[in-house]
């Protein structure tokens, strides 16, 4: 389990407010064109991070500091060019360089290590990849038409493409897993899954989240449900977490069926992937499996009803470009669920951007 200290929610909100206020103040203290240029350059920083992850720089520094020459040899890079890359990253607190010219990890660089407790290396490799850049260059078309551009570029919808092109698909799968580990601790700390006898994780991948839920809820049982090729590695994951004896693995498509008889049906980052017609199909399938006592638990990036920055506002455009899905506010989720015959009972925040939307059959 990812064990990161969980600060209280009021403190998280206060820090977030202060960060936003300082950002606004900074941009007001410099000329508009300069402030805008800083925003433009953020895209270059992402590509610099991609290069660092691709070269394995953080892994090369995991055992201790190295000189520029030593690091260049370790990662197979040109020493001067590597120095220029590191100079930019160091200016943003990613890596450091001491008086002896030795590079080392910082708190921001450590998540770039492949074996870090919370590793974002694979997320950087996906979001900095040529495929991802290519899709985002077509954002204007996506905004003009309101349609995902991936199918036009790649010849098939996004999820079909990553399923068929396994090199890309594996990078994407690992990226989504790495992001999931980032939010897992806050999710488990914010909600009592132990009140449910059987938790059905719909679209639960290899079972990492469900396994952690069962570890924290020793009286509960689980059903992991996803496509056959996705759950193939799940038994090993569940066994490693020590919950294989309390979890059944089933395969299938949530557009066709889900296992009946669950007390809770958990869908983490599923609904935002699809357009409303496909969401309606998923929710109809869930209705046939649920009982009046069952609960539907949607884990999503619920958009705030304000103009402040929020990760969901980035991911909303990611969905527009790649899948045709979208992020929603709490009121929009309430309306979406109501149209499908569900009543949203509450929205449980976490210290991460994720929220848990708990609903029942109307």
132 is catalytic: no
Element (H, E) at 167: helix 166-190
* 221 Cβ contact list (under 8 Å, min separation 6): 197, 198, 199, 214, 246, 247, 248
Which listed residue (132, 135, 272, 310) is catalytic?
272
Please name the residue that has the structure tokens 């009946």.
260
Q: Which two tokens stand for residue 55?
A: 């070269």
93 to each of 46, 115, 287, how far by Cα in Å?
A: 14, 20, 49
* 159 Cβ contact list (under 8 Å, min separation 6): 273, 323
**205 and 178 Cβ atoms separated by less than 8 Å:** no
| Three-state secondary-structure class, residue 286 | helix
Beta bridge partners of 92: none
Please name the residue that has the structure tokens 């068929």.
164
Q: Which two tokens stand for residue 80?
A: 């001067």
Return the number of other C-beta atoms located less than 10 Å from residue 295's C-beta: 19
Please name the residue that has the structure tokens 């069962």.
214
Q: Which two tokens stand for residue 146?
A: 């309101």
d(Cα 98, Cα 115) in Å, to the nearest integer? 24
**345 and 360 Cβ atoms separated by less than 8 Å:** yes
Please name the residue that has the structure tokens 């449980």.
348
d(Cα 197, Cα 183) in Å, to the nearest integer? 24
* 33 Cβ contact list (under 8 Å, min separation 6): none
**201 and 266 Cβ atoms separated by less than 8 Å:** yes
The full length of the chain comes to: 362
d(Cα 188, Cα 35) in Å, to the nearest integer? 38
The catalytic residue positions are 272
């Amino acid at each position: 389990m990812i064990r990161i200290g969980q600060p209280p929610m009021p403190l998280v909100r206060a820090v977030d407010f202060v960060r936003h206020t300082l950002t606004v103040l900074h941009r007001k203290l410099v000329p508009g064109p300069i402030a805008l240029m800083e925003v433009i350059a953020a895209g270059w920083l992402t590509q610099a991070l991609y290069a660092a992850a691709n070269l394995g720089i953080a892994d090369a520094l995991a055992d201790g500091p190295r000189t520029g020459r030593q690091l260049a040899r370790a990662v197979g890079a040109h020493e001067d060019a590597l120095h220029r890359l590191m100079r930019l990253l160091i200016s943003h607190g990613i890596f450091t360089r001491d008086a002896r010219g030795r590079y080392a990890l910082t708190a921001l660089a450590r998540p770039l290590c492949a074996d870090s407790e919370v590793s974002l290396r694979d997320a950087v490799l996906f979001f900095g990849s040529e495929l991802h850049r290519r899709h985002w260059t077509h954002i204007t078309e996506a905004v003009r038409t309101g349609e995902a551009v991936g199918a036009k570029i790649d010849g098939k919808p996004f999820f079909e493409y990553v399923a068929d092109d396994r090199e890309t698909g594996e990078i994407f799968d690992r990226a989504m897993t790495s992001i999931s580990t980032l939010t897992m601790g806050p999710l488990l700390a914010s909600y009592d899954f132990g009140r449910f006898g059987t938790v059905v994780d719909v679209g639960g991948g290899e079972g990492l989240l469900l396994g952690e839920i069962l570890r924290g809820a020793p009286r509960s049982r689980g059903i992991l449900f996803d496509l056959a090729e996705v759950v193939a590695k799940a038994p090993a994951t569940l066994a490693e977490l020590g919950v294989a004896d309390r979890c059944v693995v089933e395969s299938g498509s949530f557009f066709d069926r889900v296992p009946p008889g669950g007390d809770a049906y958990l869908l983490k980052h599923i609904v935002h992937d699809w357009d409303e017609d496909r969401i309606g199909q998923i929710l109809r399938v869930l209705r046939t499996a649920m009982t009046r006592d069952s609960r539907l638990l949607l884990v999503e990036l619920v958009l705030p009803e304000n103009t402040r920055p929020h990760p969901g506002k980035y991911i909303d455009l990611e969905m527009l470009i790649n899948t045709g899905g979208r992020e929603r506010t709490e009121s929009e989720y309430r309306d979406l669920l109501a149209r499908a015959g569900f009543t949203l009972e509450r929205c449980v925040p976490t210290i991460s951007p994720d929220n848990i939307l708990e609903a029942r059959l109307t």
